[in-house]
Amino acid sequence: MNAPFQTQDRAQQTAHFVFDRLHALILSLSLPPGSALSRHELQKEFAASSTPVRDALMRLEEIGLINVFPQSGTIVSLIDVPKARQAQFLRQAIEQEAVRRLASAPDAGVVPQLRTVIAKQRELAKNKDLEGFNEADLAFHKLLYEAAGVPDLWDLVRRQSGHIDRIRRLHLPIGGKAAQIIRDHGDIVKAIADGRPAQAESALRKHLSQSLAFSKELRLRFPTYFKE
């Protein structure tokens, strides 16, 4: 009697899994901008029926990470710098307020947590684990939202960040970028710990602006990855 509901639940779980996996592959550039996606091949790869694969692709299209062309095909979307700039604006507005709030009323518990993440980033950078480093970077910023009492806004920002995330991922291996991120995080945490809201906000703004400022150079290095 419950079989239809169980089947639907399994399909939803599979759709979530396919979405999460493709989302991670796109943001890590393992599926570079412009890559073709075959629904038939995805069904084989994930041992899934057409419905969960279709649902996962619809979600990826909604957040701008793929383009679906009826009767033609599906590709990973090219990086759209104007959309990246809008996502940057949203994230910067929220996170500047978050660090200002944290520095205005320093929480003795959150500073050690942030420093633990920075220590982990140092170790990951030393081991040249860029994927792990990137995950720790996200964990650092997610902690800011949670500590500021606005955890749901993290999910909102993540949904809008596909284009800027890929710019940051392209930037990460270049010219000491990982070391700069660690220094920036340290500056943000120090300002929070010292109870200096203006300095925390300034350090956060500087930190988030760098990859977008470097996008022209990235576009020259990876011209096929960017939208005209």
Average pLDDT over residues 22-50: 95
CA quadruple 145, 210, 215, 93: dihedral sign: positive
Q: Is a pLDDT exceeding 70 seen at residue 4?
A: no
SS3 76: strand
Kindly indicate the confidence band of residue 1, based on its pLDDT and cuts at 50, 70 and 90: very low
DSSP H helices in 63-161: 81-104, 110-126, 130-147, 151-160
The pLDDT of residue 5: 43
Average pLDDT over residues 79-105: 96
Lay out the sheet containing 66-69: strands in order across.
Answer: 36-37, 73-76, 66-69
Average pLDDT over residues 187-210: 96
Q: Is a pLDDT exceeding 50 seen at residue 41?
A: yes
Q: Which tokens belong to 165?
A: 């995330």
With CA atoms as reference, report the closest residue to 192 among 87, 121, 127, 118: 118
The pLDDT of residue 106: 76
Asked whether 168 and 149 are in contact (CB, 8 A), the reply is no
| pTM of structure | 0.90
Kindly indicate the confidence band of residue 130, based on its pLDDT and cuts at 50, 70 and 90: very high
The pLDDT of residue 195: 95
What is the set of domains in the chain, with CATH numbers?
A: 3-76 (1.10.10.10), 81-225 (1.20.120.530)
Q: Which tokens belong to 130?
A: 């860029």
CA 225 from chain center: how many Å? Answer: 17
The pLDDT of residue 126: 95
Q: pLDDT digits over 136-183, tens only? A: 999 999 999 999 999 999 999 999 999 999 999 999 999 899 999 999
Q: What is the mean pLDDT of the chain?
A: 93
The helix/strand count (H/E) of the chain reads as 11, 3
